[in-house]
Amino acid sequence: MNHPLINCFRLSSPVSFYPVAGKLVPWFWLLAALFGLTGLYVGFMIAPTDATQGEGYRIIFLHVPASWMSMFIYVVMAAWAAVGMAFNTRLSSMVALSLAPTGALMAFLSLWTGALWGKPTWGTWWVWDARLTSELILLFLYLGFMALHAATDEARRADRAAAVLALVGLVNVPIIYFSVQWWNTLHQGSSVSLTRSPSMAHAMLAGMLLMALCFWMYSIAAALTRLRAIILEREAHTDWVLHLPEAAA
C-alpha cells in the first residue's frame, strides 16, 4: 500500500496533478455557485438595512470578499512562486502563474465596488486614501507579474523573474491590511476581526462569509482550470500530453 506522503509527492508532478485537477474543478464551480446564490440571497434579501448607510451598504457583500481574496491570493501566489524558485519545481511555478489573473480580478473588483460604495458615502469615486492606493498598487503588482512572465521567452527564466517581483511585492499586503490603523484614512476599519466580536448584525455577517466562501471556491476553480491549460502548454511535446483525448481532438 502506498504511503500518503508518497502520493502527495506524486501529485507534485504535472502528469499526476493534471487529472486530479480535472476531477476537482466541477466540484469547486458547483460550490462557488451554491455559496454565491445563498450569499446573495442572505445579503440582499435577509440582511437588514443599515441605519447609517441605508441600502447602499449592500455593496460590501461583494467588496469585502473581493478585497480579502485579492490579498490572500497574492500571498499564496508569492509562496508558490518562492517554492518554485527555491526547489526548481515546475508545478509550483505553474500554480503561481495560474493564480495571478484571478488575483488581479479580485483587486479590480475591490477597487470598483469600493468606488461604487465611496461615491454616495464620501461624495467621490476616488481619493488617494492609504488603503485605496495600496490596493491599486496590488493590482499593478498582479499585472506586472503577468507582464514580466509574458515578456520572458524561456519559461524557467520567466518563472524566476516573476517570483522575485512577487516576493518583493509581499511588503504591500500588510500595508493594505494595517493602513487604516497606521494612518488617518477615510476608509472605515475592519468590521470582522478574529480578536473581537463582529460589529454588524448576524445576517450581515452570514451574507459576507457566504460570499467570501463563494469567492474562495471560484478562485480555486478558476486557478485549477487555468493551471490545466498551462500544464498542457508547458508539456505540449511530452508523450503523455500527446496521448490525451483533448490533445488529439
pLDDT digits (tens, 9 = 90+) for 204-241: 899 999 999 999 999 999 999 999 999 999 988 887 77
User: 117 and 60 in contact (C-beta within 8 Å)?
Assistant: yes
Task: Give the model's pLDDT for residue 249.
Answer: 45
Q: Decide if 10 is inside a domain.
A: no
Q: Is residue 11 part of a domain?
A: no
23-26, Cβ contacts within 8 angstroms, sequence gap of 24 or more: 24/224, 25/221, 25/224, 25/225, 25/228
Residue 54 has a pLDDT of 73
Instruction: Judge whether 1 lies within some domain.
Output: no
Separation of alpha carbons 161 and 84, rounded Å: 11
pTM of the entire predicted model: 0.88
Residue 244 domain-assigned?
yes
Residue 19 lies in a domain: no
5 found inside a domain: no
pLDDT at residue 23 in the model:
95
Question: Is residue 226 included in any domain, yes or no?
Answer: yes
Q: Can you read off the three cell numbers belonging to residue 106?
A: 479580485
Contact 139, 107 (CB under 8 A): yes
Say if residue 144 is exposed, middle or buried (CB neighbours under 10 Å; 0-12, 13-18, 19+). Answer: middle
Residues of the domain holding 53: 27-189+196-248
Has residue 21 been placed in a domain? no
When divided into structural domains, the chain yields a total of 1
C-alpha separations of 179 from 135, 184, 188 in Å: 10, 8, 10
Residues of the chain with pLDDT under 70: 1-12, 51, 121, 125, 180-199, 246-249
Give residue 56's pLDDT.
Answer: 73
